[in-house]
């Protein structure tokens, strides 16, 4: 996937609040009925936080793959059939475009039926359903809460690290949902996973650097969407044979990313490419591919 470019390295980005959150989650989980584990539909495997497995393994859990409208729909279909074979309940949703959101609460309630019937047998009215949403930073946890509660109950933002506290939010008189800050794991040893997490927004660009990130993106776009790339930046078809490092120079020239004296402003071109991709101008893209993972 990465051609012959050296992308080696380990990503260490584990701000103090992530460690604190993990410790707090462990305590809060006791009062939670169902965990909504949110992952990014473009990286359904790379966005798994294995560091949380020890905490979550015996909890009722729904896997929520968010940002489906940004993922390649053919690849999402393949992931769908793969996850169907596993035992975990899951949903592919889009919080921003309100895709399949009404399925979440009925699914969570259906997982509580047995426990609630035993309450009713004892003549006790079941307590409100308590949900907790967990996941990597910027995956859309707060956006989903706002959609489900029909108000701006949770703070959202385009950069990782917006939610800093664990907040209980009442969805209605029978459901409470806990928003949590995004957490990663202390050492991301697989550098390509680190790149996927960064390109999709869980890790700050500055940790990896826009240079490596844009080269990574161009490697993929060249392979998966060459026509779109060529057309969008008015390149030539033959440019698609160029190594990504040369291709970004071409894009810089085409887009007028130049400094005084006509010198190419590479960082500007890199930021432009990333912005174009993230605003959806370069099409839908999935980074975890079932056959490759
Ligand atoms: N396209 C798209 N963007 C989303 C979706 N959900 C969230 N976002 C965007 O992703 C960014 C992070 O969202 P936020 O809810 O703050 O993520 P959190 O850090 O997990 O709470 C914001 O810019 C949202 O607008 C989605 O389903 N689709
Ligand atoms: Mg948040």
Tell me how many domains the chain contains. Answer: 2
Q: Please tell me whether residues 147 and 26 are part of one structural domain.
A: yes
Q: Are residues 166 and 236 in the same domain?
A: no
The ligand 1 atom nearest the CA atom of 137: 19
Distance CA 208, CA 216 (A): 11
Residue 125: inside a domain: yes
Mean pLDDT for 214-218 is 96
Q: Report the nearest atom of ligand 1 relative to the CA of 136.
A: 20
Structure tokens at 48: 């798994």
Q: What percent of the chain has pLDDT over 70?
A: 91
Whether residue 151 sits in one domain with residue 58: yes
Tell the residue nearest (CA) to atom 28 of ligand 1. 67
In-domain check, residue 228: yes
- The Cα 77–Cα 59 span in angstroms is 27
**Rounded distance between C-alpha atoms, residue 72 and residue 227, angstroms:** 16
In a domain, 200, yes or no: no
Q: Each residue of 60-105: pLDDT tens digit?
A: 999 999 999 999 999 999 999 999 999 899 999 999 999 999 999 9
For CA atoms 191, 194, 199, 204, give the dihedral sign. Answer: negative
- Kindly report the three-state secondary structure assignment for every residue of the chain: CCCCCCCCCCECCCCHHHHHHHHHHHHHHHHCCEEEEEEECCCCCCCCCHHHHHHHCCCEEEEEEECHHHCCHHHHHHHHHHHHCCCCCEEECECCCCECHHHHHHHHHHCCHHHHHHHHHCCCCCCCEEEEEEECCCCCHHHHHHHHHCCCCCCCCCCCCCCCCCEEEEEECCEEEEECCCCCCCCECCHHHHHHHHHCCCCCHHHHCHHHHHHHHHHHHHHHCHHHHHHHCCCCHHHHHCCHHHHHHHHHHHCCCECHHHCECHHHHHHHHHHHHHCCCCCCCCCCCCCCC
* Mutate which of 156, 169, 203 for ligand 1 pocket (most atoms within 8 A of beta carbon): 156
> Which domain covers residue 236, as residue numbers?
209-278
- Is the domain of 103 the same as that of 222? no
Bridge partners, 169 (sequence order): 177
Ligand 1 binding pocket includes 158 (Cβ within 6 Å):
yes
- Per-residue model confidence (pLDDT) at position 8: 58
Task: State the angle between helix axes of 244-254 and 266-278 in degrees (0 to 180), rounded to the nearest 10.
Answer: 90
Q: In Å, how far are 75, 92, 184, 190, 247 from 100, measured between CA atoms?
A: 18, 7, 26, 32, 39
Q: Average of pLDDT values for 139-161?
A: 80
Highest mean pLDDT among 9-23, 126-140, 161-175: 126-140
- Mark whether 213 and 114 lie in a shared domain: no
220 and 122 together in one domain: no
pLDDT score for 47: 92
pLDDT value for 130: 96
Indicate if the pLDDT at residue 3 is higher than 90.
no
Q: Are residues 91 and 173 in the same domain?
A: yes
Per cent of the chain over pLDDT 90 is: 63
Q: 191 or 19, which is more confident? A: 191
Closest CA to ligand 1's atom 1: 67
Which CATH number goes with the domain that contains 269? 1.10.1580.10
Rounded mean pLDDT, 41-53 = 92
221 and 103 both lie in a single domain: no
Minimal-distance CA residue to ligand 1 atom 22: 158
Q: How far is the CA of 156 from the centre of ligand 1 (A)?
A: 7
135 with 141: CB under 8 angstroms?
A: yes
244 closest CA partner among 277, 283, 270 = 270
For ligand 1, whether the C-beta of 180 sits within 6 Å is no
Indicate whether 196 belongs to any domain. Answer: no
| Same domain assignment for residues 136 and 218 | no
Q: What is the CATH number of the domain that holds 175?
A: 3.40.50.300
- 76 Cα–ligand 2 center, Å: 24
Digit-coded pLDDT (tens) for 159-207: 666 666 667 888 888 999 998 888 887 777 788 999 999 999 999 999 8
Average pLDDT of the chain to the nearest whole number: 89
Identify whether residues 129 and 273 lie together within a single domain.
no
pLDDT, tens digit (0-9, with 9 covering 90-100), for 25-34: 888 899 999 9
Q: Are residues 159 and 238 in the same domain?
A: no
């Amino acid at each position: 996937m990465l051609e012959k470019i050296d992308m080696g390295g380990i990503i260490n980005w584990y701000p103090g609040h992530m460690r604190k959150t993990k410790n707090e989650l462990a305590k809060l989980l006791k009062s939670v009925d169902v965990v909504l584990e949110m992952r990014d539909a473009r990286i359904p495997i790379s966005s798994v936080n294995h560091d949380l497995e020890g905490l979550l393994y015996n909890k009722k859990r729904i896997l929520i793959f968010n940002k489906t409208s940004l993922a390649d729909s053919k690849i999402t279909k393949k992931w769908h059939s793969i996850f169907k074979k596993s035992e975990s309940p899951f949903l592919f949703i889009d919080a921003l475009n309100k895709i399949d959101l009404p399925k979440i609460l009925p699914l969570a309630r259906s997982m509580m039926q047995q426990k609630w019937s035993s309450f009713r047998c004892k003549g006790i009215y079941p307590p409100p359903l308590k949900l907790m949403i967990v996941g990597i930073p910027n995956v859309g946890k707060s956006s989903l809460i706002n959609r489900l509660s029909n108000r701006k109950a949770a703070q959202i933002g385009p950069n990782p690290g917006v939610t800093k506290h664990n907040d209980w939010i009442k969805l209605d008189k029978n459901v409470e949902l806990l928003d949590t800050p995004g957490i990663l794991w202390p050492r991301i040893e697989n550098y390509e996973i680190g790149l996927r997490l960064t390109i999709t927004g869980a890790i700050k660009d500055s940790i990896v650097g826009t240079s490596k990130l844009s080269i990574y993106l161009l490697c993929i776009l060249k392979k998966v969407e060459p026509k779109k790339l060529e057309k969008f930046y008015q390149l030539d078809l033959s440019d698609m044979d160029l190594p990504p490092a040369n291709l970004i120079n071409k894009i810089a020239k085409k887009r007028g990313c130049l400094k005084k004296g006509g010198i190419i402003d590479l960082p500007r071109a890199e930021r432009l490419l990333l912005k174009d991709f993230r605003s959806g101008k370069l099409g839908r893209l999935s980074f975890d591919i079932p056959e490759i993972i």
